[in-house]
Chain A
Amino acid sequence: MSYVLEIKNVTKKFGDFTAVKSVSFNVEDGGFFSILGGSGCGKTTLLRMISGFENVTEGELLIRGESMEGIPPERRPVNIVFQNLALFPMMNVEKNVAFGLQRQKLPKNEVNSRVTEMLERVGLIGFEKKKVTELSGGQRQRVAIARSLVLRPSILLLDEPLGALDRKLREHMKIELKVLQREIGTTFIYITHDQSEALVMSDYVAVMNEGQFEQIDTPKNLYKNPATSFVAGFVGESNEFNITSYADGELTTDNGCKLVKPGLDYQPKKLFIRPEAFILDSPETLPDVALINTRIKNILFDGANTKLSVVVKESADEMLISLPQNAKFDNLHDGDDLQVGIHQDDLKCYQN
């Protein structure tokens, strides 16, 4: 397998502050790779190093096997879609898309045919002469992507380009971007703080925290088997517990649950359980399922995302349980007692 991008122990320092701490990863050609992290985690700095706007303090950055050291942004085979899109307001759609091709001094008819081909691909035929200020948010998005893709870069970098869109359009663009990436086959590296964007679109997601990668994995694995407590808490929703004691495969949490989790070869400190992992009204006969007695404090109605806020008996700490919206559970009320089950594989324990 050839790697389009190889990052080897890359570190970036701004004065005393280390924004990116010795990060290493490889991106396969033709994939959709996301870097997910909260604001200030260093993901934008990493992106700017790949595009060439920031120097690498230490380490090595290779694109298609070639070192990018000392190569300025205009000569790198990567293009970037900026967070605010950065379309040129004094040019129309066509000129925006043609800008990069004209810089390569290509013959005029080739420029025109490639621009038309790209506009067709993103569905902007008929908008060639429109000013970019007259377009809707989604159309502007597509111009920005077309402007970069028309140069046929090895990698397309996207810096949270969906952030400014409203919710409906964002959901739509997510799917559109994924489809576009599949069709064109260009490697996309997508920076975002929105986990749903990362999970829906990506082949691989890297979760970044304080300048380091916590885990690089497929979206499904990231969700099912978080490698660290940060990932478990950051990706998806989770109930977090502190573990007070662990012995002989039995653990006790600070809110008094006694649960069985055999085979840990370390002393766990933190326990994460996803809201949807709880089995409501669990039959007592299921294997490897521990039962917890709870009382319902609140029903937080949110359509398909409706949650129960419950307290474990004899404790004040609340935890969230997903409540499927079907006839079976329609008669639950605040204050009801509820027995829930949890399979031992859904108990995610961490050392710190």
Chain B
Amino acid sequence: MKKRSGTFYLLMVPVLLWLGLLIVIPHLDMVYRSFRFETDDWEMVFSLNNYLTFFQDQIYWLTFVKTALYSIGVTFLAFVVTFPVAFYLTKVVGKKYSSFMTLLLLIPIWIGELVTVYGWMILLRDNGVINTFLMNIGIIKEPIEMLFTNFSMTIGLLYMSMLFMIVPMMSALDSLDDSLIEAASDLGASKWTIFRKIIIPYTTPGIVSGGIIVFMLVIGDYVAPNILGGKSSLWFTEQIYNKFLMSFNWNEGAAFGFLLLGLSSGIVWVALKLSGQKLEKVGS
């Protein structure tokens, strides 16, 4: 092992400070809180009660199951929607236009999630752009209720997370040599077979890494479910928010936060196992 110089340790200081002060210490504090419980005699004791609440009260774990299923669904939708775009940008249009078009894709991120969410409200509300248009051309008589439903929430989540799918997928597709596609075609593969047997297996690391980012962003998002989902669409982050800021029960809130972390990590782990990928490979 090489002996490290003083400069090396000096340069490590910002990283260690950042990790320590902003991540490790607050998390340790939260772990500690999540095991604290106030008894009927207003006494603080160590207990698993905060975690048990989640399993005992149906509303919490049902919300979590719904959140997880919707997140998986949005991740899948993000793949379906962005794969053709990524393929088009890397394999169909030339290099010249592809970088410009990628830039166009990034613009919504500059605006920020909150503003784009309000943009969707303008489009989706009862007297919004879509309903007005459909009524004017006579397809529908009454406006369709789209806003404050699971539908509008899904659209909002999809819109804010899509790009994080496209970028890793584009870099995977970019490294796919066109001659592999030609070789498969030469060996007798149909377009569908090429897609299934060559393109998808080749880009799986990119798809999985994009999928993990999208899934984590979606499952931990607060803005889109809260604003676009309205009252009828419960999201697990809203439960955590309510614990902290509505019922001022920080201990239970902390426990719920760790449950979200644990369960979503578990889902990612299962997804990695199912797709036969390794975290190190996907992460690079």
Evaluate whether A103 and B179 lie within 8 angstroms (CB atoms) in the complex, with A88-B198, A89-B202, A90-B201 already known. Answer: no
Q: Is A327 on the interface with B (CB-CB < 8 A)? A: no
Give the number of chain B interface residues (Cβ < 8 Å). Answer: 17
| Contact mask for chain A residues 110-145; partner B; CB cutoff 8 A; 1 contact, 0 none | 000000000000000000000000000000000000
* Contact status B187-A53, CB under 8 Å: no
Q: Given that A90-B201, A103-B193 are known contacts, is A148 also in contact with B182, CB under 8 Å in the complex?
A: no
Q: Does A99 contact B (CB under 8 A)?
A: yes
Per-position 1/0 for B169-198, Cβ under 8 A of A: 000000001011011111111100100011
On whether the beta carbons of B188 and A103 are closer than 8 Å, the reply is yes
A51 interfacial by beta-carbon distance below 8 Å: yes
Q: B186 touching A80 by the CB < 8 A rule?
A: yes
Residues of A within 8 A of B184 (CB): 88, 99
Contact between B188 and A53 (Cβ–Cβ < 8 Å)?
no
Query: What is the bound-complex CA distance between A151 and B186, given in angstroms?
Result: 11
Partner of A86, one of B180, B188, B193, B201: B180
A159 smallest CB distance to B (angstroms) = 9
Complex contact A82–B182 (CB within 8 A)? yes
Q: How far is it, in angstroms, between the C-alpha of A86 and the C-alpha of B180 when the chains are bound?
A: 5
A82: which of B183, B193, B198 is its contact (CB, 8 Å)? B183
A99 nearest CB neighbor, chain B only: B187
A73: Cβ under 8 A from any B Cβ:
yes
Residue pair B185, A86 in contact (C-beta under 8 Å): no
Q: Decide if A100 touches B177 in the complex (CB within 8 Å).
A: no
Q: Flag if B198 contacts A74 (CB, 8 Å).
A: no
- Max chain B Cβ within 10 angstroms of own Cβ: one of A53, A72, A74, A148: A74
Given A86-B177, A86-B179, A88-B180, residue A73 in contact with residue B185 (CB < 8 A): yes
Q: Beta-carbon contacts of A50-91 to B below 8 Å, as 1s and 0s?
A: 011100000000000000000011110011101110111110
B202 proximity list for chain A (CB < 8 A) = 89-90
A232 to B235 alpha-carbon distance, docked (Å): 79
Contact B182 A86, beta carbon cutoff 8 Å = yes
A2 adjacent to chain B (CB < 8 Å): no
Which of A51, A73, A80 gathers the greatest number of chain B CB atoms within 10 Å? A73
Instruction: Say yes or no: A51-B179 contact (C-beta < 8 A), given A88-B198, A103-B193.
Output: no
Residues of B within 8 A of A88 (CB): 180, 183-184, 198
Beyond A86-B180, A151-B188, 6 additional pairs, beta carbon < 8 A = A72-B185, A82-B179, A86-B179, A88-B180, A103-B188, A148-B187
Q: Which residues of B contact A (CB under 8 A)?
A: 177, 179-180, 182-190, 193, 197-198, 201-202
A-B contact pairs, 8 of them (CB 8 A): A52-B186, A72-B185, A78-B186, A79-B187, A80-B182, A82-B183, A99-B187, A100-B187
